[in-house]
Structure 1
Amino acid sequence: MLYTAVAAGSFRRYATYRTATVAGVVTNTVFGFIVAYTYIALWHERPHLGGYDQAQAMTFVWTGQALLAVSALMSGGNLDELQERIRTGDIAVDLYRPADLQLWWLAADLGRAGLQLIGRGVVPMAVGALVFPLALPGEALTWCAFLLSVLLAVVVSFALRYLVALASFWLLDGAGLSLISGLACMFFSGMVLPLRVFPGDFGHFVQLLPWASMLQVPADVLLGARTGGALLRGLAFQAGWAVALLALGRLVQRAATRKVVVQGG
């Protein structure tokens, strides 16, 4: 019940920032139009690039805009706050709480993601569907599989961002690493271009990286590119990375919380 309360509290906290949510919706929608027309030009020259037709490519664009804030593809999400608490030393208070540090921040991030899915996910997708011909599924089962995939995407995203935040125990200021992580996420998640577009062995390689779990896999689930066994393998791929990265985060957390740093004499 503790972590459920943390998630609910995080949801309510982000719900209070209504102006920021509206601004985010407008930003996602505007960028969605820019990327959509870029894709239209690209798919006009290569009609089946990456195995997608134009409607599927448009759906990929708006799925990316819908999940941009949900999976925190460009930022640390609420874990920027964790980095700051490590830098200032306030993390010592967190470690005295009768709660697991990793689970606490995971619950808070799930609450944040839930609000962002409703606030900044639904509206851009709806606008895209009104203006462009999208290849959205009509089966409820596909939508349920998509939502499950999105949940796993958020967990993988959290696990990676948690590792970046924990690096502040050693770096003291993790802003540079956060920037590098954000750039890597944008490229390797499929936000710039679907990973299926990349050629040869490089294309296969990037689809094995954890960032692929954050956008490429959920988008393929929504597009119906993963069905049956391929769907199960996609969800297992996401779950596998989630478990592996959370376990690694647990090990790094254990090492980090044994480290004592005194600044200022």
Structure 2
Amino acid sequence: MRVHCAVYARGLRRYSTYRAAAVAGILTNSVFGVINAMVLLALFAARPEINGYDAADAVTQVYVAQALIAPLAIMGPALELSERIRTGAVGTDLLRPVSLLGWWLAQDLGRATFDLLFRSVPTFAVGALLFTLALPGDALRWALTLLSFALATVVGFALRYLYSVVGFWLMDTRGVWAVMGPVGPVAAGMLLPLTLFPAPAAEVLRLLPWASMVQIPAEVLLGKDTLPGGSVYGGLLLQAGWAAVLLALAARLTTLAMRRVVVQGG
């Protein structure tokens, strides 16, 4: 545990050095948030309510999505593990006295913590200043929203780790990212709230792991009854379930990959 805490702190400290990039990211996310919000406001001006969402709900989800872009890295970049597998530098990683999965999880959580504090919060604050957002009125909902964001970060890491670890078999994961890069943001509800999709498609997409990164956290914040089980707790349970399943799958693939490395090493 001490090692993982040290790796977490290392990740946090490492990414805290990129302050200019953080400021640029806040500006970029805020501008794209304004553009997306204006498009949705025009849509809701013509139709005030769509599948339980009004204009304030939609704009709130826009800024949830923009705030979570950096912590989730849903649009990239890939974990450095991908390149280390391709070049063979992963061999050094395997000599460490901790699991490969645990090491990268701790490091990525450090990165995500920095992004959450110094990119997500300012970006969401800009949205709250420029638009009328549907914000919770009680501390419990805020606490549950933070828990949802944390689970979303773990789900996001697990997916990115899976995209990377297949490099032990494919050797180059750029093709995986070329496919999943466009799919992830759409299926997550980042580009467009899933509630605006036809109801059957939205119901299916909401149950997939990508929705646990944006759509579910947004609906937890909004307190929507469209969440699985019809409650905030149902949404959190779905997120926790996907986090556990994906991490278990990541651990299993890592074990199989280790055997492959030993065989290749002769």
Contact (CA 8 Å) 2:156, 2:213: kept in 1 or not?
A: yes
Aligned ranges 1:165-184 → 2 under 5 Å: 165-184=164-183
1:200, distance to aligned residue in structure 2 (A) = 3.1
Distance 1:65 1:120 in 2: 9
1:9 maps to 10
2:96 maps to 97
| TM-score normalised over the length of structure 1 | 0.94
Aligned partner of residue 97 in structure 1, secondary structure: coil
Deviations 1:222-259 (A, max 9, x none): 11215996111111100111111111111111111222
Aligned partner of residue 104 in structure 2, secondary structure: helix
1:46, distance to aligned residue in structure 2 (A) = 2.0
| TM-score normalised over the length of structure 2 | 0.94
Distance 1:46 1:193 in 2: 16
Distance 1:37 1:171 in 2: 42
Deviations 1:179-227 (A, max 9, x none): 2222111100001111122113222111110001000111011112159
Contact (CA 8 Å) 1:156, 1:213: kept in 2 or not?
A: yes
One-letter amino acid of the counterpart of residue 86, structure 1: I
One-letter amino acid of the counterpart of residue 42, structure 1: L
1:48 maps to 49
Please list every run of 5 or more consecutive structure 2 residues that lacks an aligned counterpart in the other structure.
none
2:157 maps to 158
Is 1:62 matched up with 2:63?
Answer: yes
1:230 maps to 231
1:50, distance to aligned residue in structure 2 (A) = 3.0
* Structure 1 moving runs of 4+ over 3 Å: 226-229, 260-263
One-letter amino acid of the counterpart of residue 85, structure 2: I
Distance 2:111 2:178 in 1: 21
1:210 maps to 209
Please list every run of 5 or more consecutive structure 1 residues that lacks an aligned counterpart in the other structure.
none
Aligned ranges 1:100-179 → 2 under 5 Å: 100-179=99-178
1:138, distance to aligned residue in structure 2 (A) = 2.2
Aligned partner of residue 49 in structure 1, secondary structure: coil
* Cα RMSD (Å): 1.7
Deviations 1:57-77 (A, max 9, x none): 111111111111111121145
Distance 2:216 2:123 in 1: 19
One-letter amino acid of the counterpart of residue 93, structure 2: D
Is 1:33 matched up with 2:37?
Answer: no
Distance 1:187 1:180 in 2: 12
Identity within the alignment, %? 51
Distance 2:233 2:77 in 1: 29
2:246 maps to 245
One-letter amino acid of the counterpart of residue 22, structure 2: T
Is 1:193 matched up with 2:192?
Answer: yes
Contact (CA 8 Å) 1:68, 1:74: kept in 2 or not?
A: yes
Deviations 1:6-44 (A, max 9, x none): 111101100001111111111101101110111111111
Aligned partner of residue 192 in structure 2, secondary structure: coil
One-letter amino acid of the counterpart of residue 252, structure 1: L
Contact (CA 8 Å) 1:50, 1:194: kept in 2 or not?
A: no
Distance 2:166 2:34 in 1: 36
Aligned partner of residue 231 in structure 2, secondary structure: helix
